[in-house]
Amino acid sequence: MLGRSLREVSAALKQGQITPTELCQKCLSLIKKTKFLNAYITVSEEVALKQAEESEKRYKNGQSLGDLDGIPIAVKDNFSTSGIETTCASNMLKGYIPPYNATVVQKLLDQGALLMGKTNLDEFAMGVLLLSSTLECNGAISARCSLRLPASSDSPDSASQVAGTTGMPHHSQSGSTDGVFGPVKNPWSYSKQYREKRKQNPHSENEDSDWLITGGSSGGSAAAVSAFTCYAALGSDTGGSTRNPAAHCGLVGFKPSYGLVSRHGLIPLVNSMDVPGILTRCVDDAAIVLGALAGPDPRDSTTVHEPINKPFMLPSLADVSKLCIGIPKEYLVPELSSEVQSLWSKAADLFESEGAKVIEVSLPHTSYSIVCYHVLCTSEVASNMARFDGLQYGHRCDIDVSTEAMYAATRREGFNDVVRGRILSGNFFLLKENYENYFVKAQKVRRLIANDFVNAFNSGVDVLLTPTTLSEAVPYLEFIKEDNRTRSAQDDIFTQAVNMAGLPAVSIPVALSNQGLPIGLQFIGRAFCDQQLLTVAKWFEKQVQFPVIQLQELMDDCSAVLENEKLASVSLKQ
Amino acid sequence: MAAPMLRWGCRGRRWAFARVDGGSCHRRGAPTGSTSNQIRGESSVAQQPLHTAQKTRKGEHKWAAVVGLEIHAQISSNSKLFSGSQVRFSAPPNSLVSFFDASLPGTLPVLNRRCVEAAVMTGLALNCHINKKSLFDRKHYFYADLPKQSQVIPKTVRIKQIQLEQDSGKSLHDNLRSQTLIDLNRAGVGLLEVVLEPDMSCGEEAATAVRELQLILQALGTSQANMAEGQLRVDANISVHHPGEPLGVRTEVKNLNSIRFLAKAIDYEIQRQINELENGGEILNETRSFHHKLGCTMSMRDKEGKQDYRFMPEPNLPPLVLYDATSLPAGADPQQVINIDQIRETLPELPSVTREKLVQQYGMLLEHSFTLLNEVGLLEFFQNVIKETRAEPKKVTSWVLNTFLGYLKQQNLAVSESPVTPSALAELLDLLDSRTISSSAAKQVFEELWKREGKTPGQIVSEKQLELMQDQGALEQLCHSVMEAHPQVVMDVKNRNPRAINKLIGLVRKATQSRADPVMIKEILEKKLSL
């Protein structure tokens, strides 16, 4: 039952094959068994059981609220949940219990979903490679990523050298490794598929300590769904934070169009790019959740009043011959692993062989997206983090010499180096003397990047097909090696530009790598054509028949779990 | 508080929500902005001026003062600018605080339609150009939270811009326990920021401009504009220079919580700067606070120095688009759009129009109309008297502005606290008009009325026997006796001394205890002296 999709288990609930309470208890017990994955920060067992009880009553009375009634879900710990601690994996918010529910959380609860818990993430969803790299994040590094555009021109031609050569080494590549609650372990580390491949490899080290990262920043949500502890999870997606871990964990990771789903209650990273993301095991499940979440919210003025077809059903596409698939040539970067590249190419061939038109398109400003994102992201971060001053809520230091000293110490203690680094650079970019040179130029580049997509879609392309990540998930020990920095820093390149343009995008698991690890590909759609995008993704999902993760060994062997837990705590201290 | 503040800002960095448009008016001194380190780019010229008094200052010919004002008016609305919390003065601390006001993470601003309408209305009333598209900016900072008797010559003060902002909370410092207490009731209340160009040159001009703005806001109902309750806050930017030379370094004077103090503080600061410069000192670009009791301004010694508010566009609010009759999209939901033309139609009568009407209808001087409007409730009092009396409007004006207002000022009373009602004054003026009493008797009656003994003017007149002597024979008799008693004065009259007749009249009036009409006395005397 646990391995089924949301839709399947929903049908089982309706038919009475299982009750919501039974389902809830199974998930809770699995959450306990997989505790070493560190997917959850808070497990809301009591809340979930109570919700299950109520759901059960509704089913008995024939008053089910719909597809989500009685379905266990998990929510990233940067969505406000009334009465349940919401930490953003930061010392700053440890112990903070919001008095209200985020709109998306409320909508899921209104549909009868069971909230299993709050999932782990990088602090404030700021994924990062590793701590030492952020120490460069001061004036020196800020100056290096200056966008040297001629003031009178919108053309960033002269910026190419700057963006191309510096590569922003400290730029976030999140691994869900950098919250105060420790890193999240990728369930695929313990899959039969991966372990069998590892055995064939004579160089394989201690397999228990050699676990893989999930990607981030919504790594906890991805691990929770991937390990069958829930049927869907909310992530957030600012530069790829939902799609990236989805690709690494073999899941569907969907980022809706900006403005389709309310951000009210989502603790912001970058207001102008954040969207609630959806992680599920198949495209239809993502559509069900999207159907529950989409729609205007009077509490979020950026939600649009577009009419949405509800229920959000996806037709099964029989014929793709009328489709035009765009392949952005700039996405073929040298860092792309040959395996991903070959799968990308096969996917394009698949569409072509089924009659779709597949054309190469150009998104010429792609290479500027990382540096542009850095300026905009840090600026908004600096602004959004200003509210955490220890006065009204959250962490407050013991120093009471003066209000200023209290602010300073509170923020020093509350934020990690990554967050502080971004606040410093963001404030630097927003200074009066720097504003035009950084923020305004970055905004112009953002417009150019968004226009790239508009031009591609205007040329007749229905959806774009790209890789989601450069490669499959890497082991944590390898991930934190310094020489991985540059390569990983580029990893957001396929996902980030989509957020700057506000477009819908979805990562679909395609196949296992030679190592037995999932690889995902991304589809990008026109703004507010989320349904069309998911319909294409659903067709593709059906063609590729991605294998189910085999975790039997893990679930049966509790002693192995305990052993792993010890090792996890050792590796944390390093 | 570290909560971002939102403002409508101007082209490039911010958008001015409203600015004065077109028109022609000469500017004086250097162009705007040369003394100002503010980044507001809009410069504009006046169309609809705020009228202020112009008064030449004695002995200061070599120095010219330049005064600009930044005024914050709390918008009169039921709820705050970006949240649904109630707006109420003197509510228990922190009882009007929404999650957004407390800046709980994840909360987002939702624009209050009423505040936008109030800003549009104020902009229209001040004849400002209303930008059809406005963007919101974020501002960052860390912070735990007329005496109008002189001559009025209308003068122009230009309005630079009007912006919508959020008010801050209040911090209360308890030095004994070294605690800071914070009340967020005020945090997030909508503010209209009105920037007046440095077109003023003394405290009184500034005071008049603020009073006029106050009247306009009150007439519109967009702000209660009560300075004592902090609904209207004024900061003054002041500098002095020699005419023809560049503007001097300016100081900003804060903490001006009444119009009287505003005028005082500005005049003090101008004099201080002149003294400083004449004694070889220099003026620092600093913020100064006005000390009410000492009547002087003092440096606030800003620890932080110049603040960089690090403005950035507010990402959580889409651009605000306003429509007019021509741009309104067909089929638009009236609840979802703001139509400038529709608001224009609801504009009430503005003080300048009211004054013009008073001048035309009652033939009063413009300066009298200013006084009538400037005193709270005085216009209504005046209109009520006019309604009930047969007396000439000019008479009513004179009595209301001189006698009535004089008594009020002397005892520091508001119109609403007056012991004399409009009906009582109307009755008194009727008695005067029908020549039942003389004007000096009328003054006596007024004084009696002021004592609040509950008597009507008629009762007072009969009790005190203040009626004019109407008996011609008796008056002639009296005149006769006076002439006999003062032969020398009679002689003087006959010798064509023009003043002598007045002396005789005075003597006769004295004999009647001022109850006789001097005109009548004069007629009798002239007849008797065969003049």
Q: Do B108 and A264 touch (CB under 8 A)?
A: yes
Helix (H, G, I), strand (E, B) or coil at A321: coil
pLDDT band at A162 (very low <50, low <70, confident <90, very high): very low
Q: Which of A176, A189, A217, A507 is catalytic?
A: A217
Question: A7-27: per-residue pLDDT in tens?
Answer: 999 999 999 999 999 999 999
pLDDT band at B145 (very low <50, low <70, confident <90, very high): very low
Q: Tell me the shortest Cα–Cα distance from B300 to chain A, in angstroms.
A: 18
Q: Which of A102, A298, A380 sits opposite B106 (nearest CB)?
A: A102
- What is the predicted pLDDT for the residue at B169? 87
pLDDT band at B305 (very low <50, low <70, confident <90, very high): low
Q: Are B208 and B148 in contact (CB under 8 A)?
A: yes
* Rounded distance between C-alpha atoms, residue B180 and residue B93, angstroms: 13
Please give the C-alpha separations between residue B9 and each of B2, B47, B111, B118, B393, in angstroms, as whole numbers: 20, 22, 15, 17, 48
Q: Are B199 and B50 in contact (CB under 8 A)?
A: no
- What is the predicted pLDDT for the residue at A134? 29
Q: Which of B5, B37, B100, B104 to mutate to test the interface with A (most CBs of A within 10 A)?
A: B104
Residues whose CB falls within 8 Å of the CB of residue B510, separated by 6 or more in sequence, listed in order: none
Question: A351-360: per-residue pLDDT in tens?
Answer: 999 999 999 9
Q: Does any CB of chain B come closer than 8 Å to the CB of residue A392?
A: yes
- What is the predicted pLDDT for the residue at B402? 93
- What is the predicted pLDDT for the residue at B155? 57
- What is the predicted pLDDT for the residue at B464? 84
Spatial CA neighbour of B149 closest among B256, B263, B247: B263
Instruction: Note if A146 is an active site residue.
Output: no
Instruction: Note if A241 is an active site residue.
Output: yes
Tell me the two tokens of residue A380. Answer: 């908004």
pLDDT band at A326 (very low <50, low <70, confident <90, very high): very high
Q: Point out the least confidently predicted range of B392-406, B432-446, B509-523.
A: B509-523
Q: What residues does B321 pair with on adjacent strands? A: B133
User: Residue B203 pLDDT more than 80?
Assistant: yes
- What is the predicted pLDDT for the residue at A137? 32
Residue B49 CB-half CA count within 13 A? 16
Task: Tell me whether residue A444 is exposed, middle or buried, using C-beta atoms within 10 angstroms of its C-beta: 0 to 12, 13 to 18, 19 or more.
Answer: middle
Question: B190-199: per-residue pLDDT in tens?
Answer: 999 999 999 9
What value does the mean pLDDT of chain B take? 82
Q: Are A320 and A351 in contact (CB under 8 A)?
A: yes
For residues B62 and A377, which has the higher predicted lDDT (pLDDT)? A377
Q: Does any CB of chain B come closer than 8 Å to the CB of residue A102?
A: yes
* Rounded distance between C-alpha atoms, residue A485 and residue B151, angstroms: 77
Q: Does any CB of chain B come closer than 8 Å to the CB of residue A402?
A: no
For residues B60 and B186, which has the higher predicted lDDT (pLDDT)? B186
pLDDT band at A554 (very low <50, low <70, confident <90, very high): low
Q: Tell me the shortest Cα–Cα distance from A248 to chain B, in angstroms.
A: 28
- What is the predicted pLDDT for the residue at A79? 98
As for the ipTM of the complex, it is 0.85
Q: Does any CB of chain B come closer than 8 Å to the CB of residue A165?
A: no
Q: Point out the least confidently predicted range of B290-299, B301-310, B404-413.
A: B301-310
- What is the predicted pLDDT for the residue at A310? 64
pLDDT band at A125 (very low <50, low <70, confident <90, very high): confident
Residues whose CB falls within 8 Å of the CB of residue B16, separated by 6 or more in sequence, listed in order: B8, B9, B10, B40, B42, B131, B160, B161, B162, B163
User: Residue A571 pLDDT more than 50?
Assistant: no
* Rounded distance between C-alpha atoms, residue A115 and residue A224, angstroms: 12
Q: Which of B1, B39, B318 sits opposite A301 (nearest CB)?
A: B318
User: Residue A509 pLDDT more than 70?
Assistant: yes
**Average of pLDDT values for A245-260?**
97
Name the CA radius of gyration of chain A, rounded.
22
Instruction: Note if A217 is an active site residue.
Output: yes
Residue A269 identity:
L
- What is the predicted pLDDT for the residue at A203? 60
pLDDT band at A496 (very low <50, low <70, confident <90, very high): very high
pTM for the model stands at 0.82
Query: Which residues from chain B sit within 8 angstroms of residue A88, using beta carbons?
Result: 105
User: Residue A528 pLDDT more than 80?
Assistant: yes
Q: Tell me the shortest Cα–Cα distance from A271 to chain B, in angstroms.
A: 6
For residues B261 and A176, which has the higher predicted lDDT (pLDDT)? B261
Q: Do A407 and B142 touch (CB under 8 A)?
A: yes
Tell me the two tokens of residue B212. Answer: 């006029």
Question: B245-289: per-residue pLDDT in tens?
Answer: 999 999 999 878 899 999 999 999 999 999 999 999 999 999 999
Q: Point out the least confidently predicted range of A278-282, B76-80, B167-171.
A: B167-171
pLDDT band at A408 (very low <50, low <70, confident <90, very high): confident
Residue B175 identity:
N
Question: A260-318: per-residue pLDDT in tens?
Answer: 999 999 999 999 999 999 999 999 999 999 999 999 999 999 999 876 666 678 989 88
User: Residue B24 pLDDT more than 70?
Assistant: no
Spatial CA neighbour of B182 closest among B173, B195, B171: B171
Q: Does any CB of chain B come closer than 8 Å to the CB of residue A351?
A: no
Query: Which residues from chain B sit within 8 angstroms of residue A389, using beta carbons?
Result: 1-2, 142
User: Residue A362 pLDDT more than 80?
Assistant: yes
Taking residue A70's Cβ as centre, other Cβ atoms within 10 Å add up to: 30
User: Residue B351 pLDDT more than 60?
Assistant: yes
pLDDT band at A212 (very low <50, low <70, confident <90, very high): very high
Q: What residues does A328 pair with on adjacent strands? A: A361
Spatial CA neighbour of A461 closest among A342, A332, A348, A315: A348
pLDDT band at A174 (very low <50, low <70, confident <90, very high): low
- What is the predicted pLDDT for the residue at A573? 29
> What is the DSSP code (8-state) at residue A152?
T
Please give the C-alpha separations between residue A298 and each of A73, A255, B66, B416, in angstroms, as whole numbers: 25, 21, 47, 45
Spatial CA neighbour of A314 closest among A492, A541, A467, A142: A541
Please give the C-alpha separations between residue A149 and each of A142, A163, A168, A368, B169, in angstroms, as whole numbers: 16, 11, 18, 12, 41
Q: Tell me the shortest Cα–Cα distance from A272 to chain B, in angstroms.
A: 5
pLDDT band at B531 (very low <50, low <70, confident <90, very high): low
* Rounded distance between C-alpha atoms, residue B250 and residue B236, angstroms: 10
pLDDT band at A208 (very low <50, low <70, confident <90, very high): low
Q: Are A392 and A459 in contact (CB under 8 A)?
A: no
pLDDT band at B150 (very low <50, low <70, confident <90, very high): very low
User: Residue B495 pLDDT more than 50?
Assistant: yes
Q: Point out the least confidently predicted range of A524-528, A550-554, B13-17.
A: B13-17
Q: Which of A301, A407, A410, A424 to mutate to test the interface with B (most CBs of B within 10 A)?
A: A301
In angstroms, the first-to-last Cα distance of chain B is 86
* Rounded distance between C-alpha atoms, residue B363 and residue B392, angstroms: 10
pLDDT band at B491 (very low <50, low <70, confident <90, very high): confident
- What is the predicted pLDDT for the residue at A389? 82
Q: Do A302 and B138 touch (CB under 8 A)?
A: no
User: Residue A484 pLDDT more than 50?
Assistant: no
User: Residue B475 pLDDT more than 70?
Assistant: yes
* Rounded distance between C-alpha atoms, residue A377 and residue A422, angstroms: 8
- What is the predicted pLDDT for the residue at A146? 33
* Rounded distance between C-alpha atoms, residue B46 and residue B27, angstroms: 10
Q: What are φ and ψ of residue B289, in 5° steps?
A: -110, 140
For residues B172 and B223, which has the higher predicted lDDT (pLDDT)? B223
Residue A540 CB-half CA count within 13 A? 33
Q: Which of A55, A142, A241, A425 is catalytic?
A: A241
Q: Do B2 and A99 touch (CB under 8 A)?
A: no
In angstroms, the first-to-last Cα distance of chain A is 39
For residues B530 and B203, which has the higher predicted lDDT (pLDDT)? B203
What value does the mean pLDDT of chain A take? 85
Name the CA radius of gyration of chain B, rounded.
30
Helix (H, G, I), strand (E, B) or coil at A165: helix
Task: Tell me whether residue B245 is exposed, middle or buried, using C-beta atoms within 10 angstroms of its C-beta: 0 to 12, 13 to 18, 19 or more.
Answer: exposed
Q: Which of B39, B108, B173 to mutate to test the interface with A (most CBs of A within 10 A)?
A: B108
Question: A75-107: per-residue pLDDT in tens?
Answer: 999 999 999 999 999 999 999 999 999 999 999
pLDDT band at A166 (very low <50, low <70, confident <90, very high): very low
* Rounded distance between C-alpha atoms, residue B368 and residue B378, angstroms: 11
Tell me the two tokens of residue A439. Answer: 């923020």
Spatial CA neighbour of A86 closest among A101, A72, A71: A101
* Rounded distance between C-alpha atoms, residue B342 and residue B328, angstroms: 11
**Average of pLDDT values for B366-375?**
92
Q: What are φ and ψ of residue A229, in 5° steps?
A: -85, -10
User: Residue A127 pLDDT more than 70?
Assistant: no
pLDDT band at B11 (very low <50, low <70, confident <90, very high): very low
pLDDT band at B302 (very low <50, low <70, confident <90, very high): low
* Rounded distance between C-alpha atoms, residue A322 and residue A320, angstroms: 5
* Rounded distance between C-alpha atoms, residue A102 and residue A86, angstroms: 11
Query: Which residues from chain A sit within 8 angstroms of residue B99, using beta carbons?
Result: 99-100
Please give the C-alpha separations between residue A518 and each of A188, A474, B256, in angstroms, as whole numbers: 8, 11, 68
* Rounded distance between C-alpha atoms, residue A251 and residue A469, angstroms: 13
Q: Do A427 and B310 touch (CB under 8 A)?
A: yes
- Interface of B to A at Cβ within 8 Å reads 1-4, 13, 39, 99, 102-111, 138, 140, 142, 144, 178, 180, 182, 308, 310-312, 315-318
- What is the predicted pLDDT for the residue at B510? 84
pLDDT band at B174 (very low <50, low <70, confident <90, very high): confident
Q: Does any CB of chain B come closer than 8 Å to the CB of residue A387?
A: yes
Q: Do A407 and B2 touch (CB under 8 A)?
A: yes
Q: Do B310 and A393 touch (CB under 8 A)?
A: no
Please give the C-alpha separations between residue B467 and each of B385, B438, B522, in angstroms, as whole numbers: 22, 8, 18
Q: Are B197 and B32 in contact (CB under 8 A)?
A: yes
